[in-house]
């Protein structure tokens, strides 16, 4: 079945009356914990149409209020509140506002690739599901970011949003053995963790640990260990005045120099700038 004519050309039509409350991972690195690249709430007014012939990222979009249309199975389908669009990476996505009333959407874009997709399947899917927790968490995150932006609160909300999004998407629940491992690691980030030790805590072989980590979190065990260390360091930087030397040893680095170099690669900025983002 051929798509409707309005959905066959790459289009980014956003009317003047449209409003968005958006966070991106460049300004809010905590989003990478999920990993999200963008999240937000959009209040759309006519005219609005978005057509991506080959989407660069997977995204999950909940209709909150108003009406729209989206492309599913080659045809235009009505999209009303109570329905969520699962839009995988690398495929044709299209949606537009229907009627003259505002249309409100809550959404996340995953920082993924076709080789390691965040969503199952190779076609967009519109599902009937209660997305109220997902929507509420996005609202809380955008409000926190606009206000105190406390690192611990932001990190907790991103964790909740990630769980909510993945439940809506029907992606695999993280293996209980991995949960046990990462709880142990986060409880002692200063420890010099080896692959053999991590595999032992998870009660599996090193090779199986690698496979499960790539399946569930799209990272190697070593990369995720680094991510957890630097994520904790970011929280400490934003919430305390501890020295870099103290933070480095607290999260498993031998010196402030090696910590600073790793942190800059992870966040894109040196620790001093991350601690004072307006400075």
- Domain with 185, as residue range(s), is 176-275
Last residue of a domain, one of 136, 169, 202: 169
Question: pTM for this structure?
Answer: 0.66
> Do 9 and 117 have their domain in common?
yes
**Count of beta carbons in the 10 Å neighbourhood of residue 85:** 23
> Do 156 and 250 have their domain in common?
no
Which CATH number goes with the domain that contains 24? Answer: 2.60.120.10
CA distance 230 to 270: 12
CA nearest to 106, candidates 198, 217, 20? 20
Last residue of a domain, one of 169, 192, 225: 169
Which CATH number goes with the domain that contains 258? Answer: 1.10.10.60
State residue 261's pLDDT score. Answer: 95
> Do 96 and 194 have their domain in common?
no
CA gyration radius for the chain? 21
> Do 154 and 72 have their domain in common?
yes
State residue 171's pLDDT score. Answer: 65
Instruction: Give bridge partners of residue 50 from the DSSP assignment.
Output: 12, 95
> Do 25 and 134 have their domain in common?
yes
> Do 218 and 160 have their domain in common?
no
Strand order in the sheet with 11-14: 11-14, 48-52, 93-97, 68-72, 75-79
State residue 174's pLDDT score. Answer: 57
pLDDT averaged per 10 residues in sequence order, the chain, 279 residues: 82 92 92 87 95 93 96 93 94 93 96 78 90 96 94 87 86 68 91 95 87 83 93 88 94 95 91 74
């Amino acid at each position: 079945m051929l798509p409707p004519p309005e959905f066959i050309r790459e289009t980014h039509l956003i009317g003047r009356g449209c409003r968005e409350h958006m966070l991106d991972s460049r300004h809010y690195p905590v989003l990478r914990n999920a990993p999200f690249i963008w999240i937000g709430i959009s209040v759309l007014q006519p005219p609005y149409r978005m057509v991506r012939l080959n989407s660069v990222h997977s995204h999950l979009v909940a209709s909150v209020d108003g009406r729209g249309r989206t492309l599913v199975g080659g045809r235009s389908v009505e999209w009303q509140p109570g329905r969520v669009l699962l839009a995988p990476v690398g495929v044709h996505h299209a949606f537009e506002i229907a009627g003259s009333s505002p249309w409100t959407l809550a959404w996340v874009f995953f920082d993924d690739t076709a080789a390691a997709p965040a969503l199952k399947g190779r076609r967009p899917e519109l599902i009937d599901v209660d997305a109220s927790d997902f929507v509420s968490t996005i609202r809380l995150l955008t409000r926190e970011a606009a206000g105190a932006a406390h690192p611990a609160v932001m990190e907790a909300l991103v964790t909740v949003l990630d769980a909510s999004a993945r439940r809506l998407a029907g992606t695999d629940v993280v293996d209980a053995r991995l949960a046990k491992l990462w709880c142990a690691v986060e409880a002692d980030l200063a420890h010099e963790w080896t692959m053999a030790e991590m595999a032992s805590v998870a009660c599996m072989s090193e090779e199986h640990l690698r496979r499960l980590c790539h399946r569930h979190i799209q990272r190697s065990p070593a990369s995720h260990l680094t991510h957890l260390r630097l994520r904790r360091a970011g929280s400490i930087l934003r919430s305390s005045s501890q020295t870099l030397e103290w933070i480095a040893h607290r999260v498993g680095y031998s010196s402030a120099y090696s910590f600073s170099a790793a942190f800059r690669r992870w966040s894109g900025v040196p620790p001093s700038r991350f601690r004072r983002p307006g400075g």
